[in-house]
Amino acid sequence: MYRICFVCTGNICRSPMAEVVLRARLVDEGLDTGIVVESAGTDGWHVGDPADPRAVAALNAAGYPAAPGDHAARRFTADRFAGYDLVIALDRGHERELRRLAPDEAAAAKVRLLRSFGGPDGAAGVELDVPDPYYGDDGGFADCLEIIETALPELLRTVRARTGAVG
């Protein structure tokens, strides 16, 4: 098994959206066996809460299967590093916190920023943070989803290279 965890702040907006989108892409490309995708938050404010309804609505509007009850927020702790091959931070604050939590250099080396995978234009010159839509309107969730989708082709290439998967 190759295990991936997306990490944002509370695990109710950005990281569950990225989890749903990557799972769907893995299914679309026939890569859904042997790869586990999960998400967590750097803080524990929302532990046990479902995904934000606005995140679910943005996912559904884009054709992704999601329901609030499909997700329960959890916190990423140092002991979780052992269970993942790749830990993907949604912004640089999350990246710093994850590297601080890492019990050793091998764990810290698992941390990557989602947007560092790039997109059609590559990562050069692109803002690397996925903006937090929580305090904004519904449009922020659609924008967040678009940013996540843009990074996925290169993330999928990375997963294929690391797992030897073909699809």
Which DSSP category does 110 fall into? T
Name the catalytic one among 32, 85, 132, 143.
132
Residue 5 falls in the annotated catalytic set: no
Q: At what angle do helices 14-28 and 138-163 cross, to 10 degrees?
A: 50
Please state, as a whole number, how many other Cβ atoms lie within 10 Å of the Cβ of residue 65.
11
Query: Which is nearest to 88 in space by CA: 54, 113, 108?
Result: 113
Residue 13 falls in the annotated catalytic set: no
Name the catalytic one among 5, 8, 13, 144.
8
Residues 6+ apart with CB under 8 A from 45: 10
Residue written as token pair 């692109």: 126
Q: At what angle do helices 53-61 and 138-163 cross, to 10 degrees?
A: 70
d(CA 97, CA 121): 28
Name the catalytic one among 5, 13, 14, 91.
14
Residue 132 falls in the annotated catalytic set: yes
Please list the active-site residues.
Answer: 8, 14, 132
